Amino acid sequence: MFHSARNRTIAIAIGGLVALTLSASFADDLIPQDSVIEAPTAPFVESPAPTLTPEETTTVLAEGESVTVAQEIGNSPISTPRPTPSATPKPSATTDPDLLIENETPTVEILISPQPRLTLHMPISLGIDPRSRSYLMNSIEFWGTSTYLACFTGYGVGFDVGTSGAIDDFQNDNFIVEGDRTPNLKISGTGAAIKSLLRTPGGIRINSASGALAGHSLSLSLTALTSAATDQSYCGASKAMSTSVFLPLKIDLGLVKGQGTLKK
Amino acid sequence: MSSGFNHSRPRKSKFILGALVLGAVPLLISTFAASVTVGNGSLEFGQGSQQATACDSTVYIAMGEEWHPSPTPTDASNGFFRVRAVTISNLDLTTCAGKKLRLRLIDGASGEITTGPTPDSKVLQISLPDQAPTSNISDPIALGLSYLSGIGAPISTTLLATVSLSVSGTAIYDGTTLSATNADATFYLDPTAVTVNIDGQSVRRTTVETVNNPKAPGI
């Protein structure tokens, strides 16, 4: 009698403990992962250091280094290749009008192979207000006179280029913007044209998909092309790529009482 | 004997139950504590110091960077991203009218970063207009732009910084429409990029202060 009552009591107690432990684990799981903001209750405590190396992300593509992807695109629904004087005709019989098969269209190589020397700089971390859900980015630097495809990829963020709040996708022979206000933005044109767009007052604004920006990241790759195109496969052909992580700054807001002058 | 036995068993059971309940208290506390933080991360930011801000408790910070070339003999592309400007956003110029606004940048070692031409230039300060402006102001003299030492003493030196107080256009912080109650105060540290070139990676903390220094009557 006593044994069974005691066993029941112990069993109930153990069951309760297990339930409490489980509920604690669930509560931990409920904490949103993007709440990386630290409450700066203690003054002058260092922000968490970024996990990446403390230098700007720099990727230099050595001259003569070849890329592994060299595709020909003819009738891509995403981007229409536009033969330009600088485009290299495919050295094959298909460019000979006499040998063209009916309904076959001439193709040109858009992707430059090997890729020319290209240097791309972006800060490895972007200091932001920890409450910030959006960031106007000006800190992208690259050099080169070629035509490029700039592929922006957001991890928990989307890109808004040009007019804020509007979809600025457009396309002409020399300049293409595709994927505005999405996490996958592609801009193709001359280096000067891309820089010009990125540095307009609207610039490129990065918006969090949900919650604060802190902890999210973005990457940018640049691929040299013979003419403007936004085929996704060209993004993967790039060897010039940088990544930036949003790092929350700590902020103090305070009131300073000034000296008052007493009237005699 | 049996009577004693009968009394000791329930007492023992109660003791075991009591011990289990006591043992469960930390679990209960941790469970509730974990639950409390759900969706509350950003709200806790600034706790303690934020309440001390007199005129506007909801200002934000946006830091703008630009490439600063610093080529070396072995690397012509060497350089870093310098702090071009720091914007205090969402300022309410009606409640903060007449106040002084100070900005400090702090590095990862808790040291104040020099923001002016002299090593003791640690603070950038402007005086907000007595009346909320109706148009943007970018005159550093009108805004009383100056450098202060770490303890707030004025520094007389060449002014390299510029400033703009914007009440129209779009906010740098979040792209919202600016107004007198949602203004941007932007400090450009050194537009020439010759002298004050702070590596953006070194800035880990910013401090915004409003200085309450009312004019004495009759002055």
A15 contacts in chain B (CB < 8 Å):
none
What is the interface size between A and B, counted as CB pairs within 8 Å?
A: 215
B86 contacts in chain A (CB < 8 Å):
none
- SS3 state at A235: helix
Hey, what are B112's tokens? Answer: 């104040």
Domain assignment present for A120:
yes
Tens-place pLDDT, residues A27-47: 333 333 333 223 232 233 233
Sign of the Cα pseudo-torsion (A125, A126, A132, A134, in order): negative
B152 contacts in chain A (CB < 8 Å):
256
**Residue A117 forms contact with B (CB below 8 Å):** no
Q: Rounded mean pLDDT of chain A?
A: 71
pLDDT greater at residue B38 or residue B67: B67
Domain count, chain A: 1
Q: Phi, psi (5° rounding) for residue B206?
A: -125, 150
Q: Are residues B29 and B85 in the same domain?
A: no
ipTM, 2 dp: 0.72
Domain assignment present for B217:
no
CA–CA distance, A167 with A172 (Å, rounded to integer): 16
Residue of B nearest to A257 (CA): B212
Burial class (CB in 10 A: 0-12, 13-18, 19+), B95: middle
Q: Are residues B3 and B102 in the same domain?
A: no
CA–CA distance, B30 with A82 (Å, rounded to integer): 63
Given a cut of 80, is residue B11 above it in pLDDT? no
Q: Are residues B8 and B108 in the same domain?
A: no
Q: Chain A window 63-102: which residues touch B at a Cβ cutoff of 8 Å? A: none
Q: Phi, psi (5° rounding) for residue B177?
A: -75, 130
Domain assignment present for B41:
no
Tens-place pLDDT, residues B140-190: 999 999 999 999 999 999 999 999 999 999 999 999 999 999 999 999 999
CA–CA distance, A28 with A34 (Å, rounded to integer): 13
Q: What pLDDT, on a 0 to 100 scale, did the predictor assign at position A207?
A: 97
Q: What percent of chain B is predicted at pLDDT more than 90?
A: 67
Domain assignment present for B40:
no
**Residue A2 forms contact with B (CB below 8 Å):** yes
Domain count, chain B: 2
Residue of B nearest to A118 (CA): B77
Domain that holds residue A92: 57-97+105-248
Q: Are residues B23 and B65 in the same domain?
A: no
Q: Are residues B162 and B60 in the same domain?
A: yes
- DSSP secondary structure string, B167-214? SSSB-TTT-PBPBTTBEEEEEES-TT-SS---BGGGEEEEEEEEEE-P
Q: What pLDDT, on a 0 to 100 scale, did the predictor assign at position B143?
A: 97
* Inter-chain residue contact B102 with A258, CB threshold 8 Å: no
CA–CA distance, A37 with B49 (Å, rounded to integer): 16
Burial class (CB in 10 A: 0-12, 13-18, 19+), B149: middle
Domain assignment present for B46:
no
Domain assignment present for A26:
no
Domain that holds residue B2: 1-35
Hey, what are A169's tokens? Answer: 């996708």
Chain A interface test: which of B45, B88, B99 (most A C-beta within 10 Å): B45
Q: Are residues B86 and B20 in the same domain?
A: no
CA–CA distance, B116 with B170 (Å, rounded to integer): 28
Domain assignment present for B219:
no
Q: What percent of chain B is predicted at pLDDT more than 70?
A: 72
Q: Rounded mean pLDDT of chain B?
A: 80
Residues of chain A with pLDDT below 50 are 1-2, 22-101
Chain B interface test: which of A55, A58, A252, A261 (most B C-beta within 10 Å): A252
Q: Are residues B67 and B4 in the same domain?
A: no
Hey, what are B75's tokens? Answer: 């690397």
Nearest by Cα to A109 from A245, A229, A259 = A229
Residue of A nearest to B96 (CA): A255
CA–CA distance, B19 with B13 (Å, rounded to integer): 10
CA–CA distance, B112 with B203 (Å, rounded to integer): 9
Q: Are residues B58 and B162 in the same domain?
A: yes
B24, B59, B110: residue with CB nearest A20: B24
Domain assignment present for A220:
yes
Chain A interface test: which of B35, B50, B81 (most A C-beta within 10 Å): B81
The one-letter code for the residue type at B20 is L
Alpha helices per DSSP H over A127-202: 191-198
Q: Is A3 left (phi over 0), alpha (psi -120 to 50) or beta?
A: alpha
Instruction: Note whether B178 and A223 are within 8 A (CB).
Output: no
A37 contacts in chain B (CB < 8 Å):
41-42, 44-45
Torsion of CA A190, A195, A201, A202, to 10 degrees: 70
- Specify the DSSP class assigned to residue A238: -
Hey, what are B187's tokens? Answer: 């400090």
Q: Are residues B69 and B143 in the same domain?
A: yes
**Confidence bin at B135 (pLDDT 50/70/90):** very high
Note if the pTM is more than 0.90.
no
Q: Are residues B134 and B75 in the same domain?
A: yes
The one-letter code for the residue type at B34 is A
**Residue A1 forms contact with B (CB below 8 Å):** no
Domain assignment present for A122:
yes
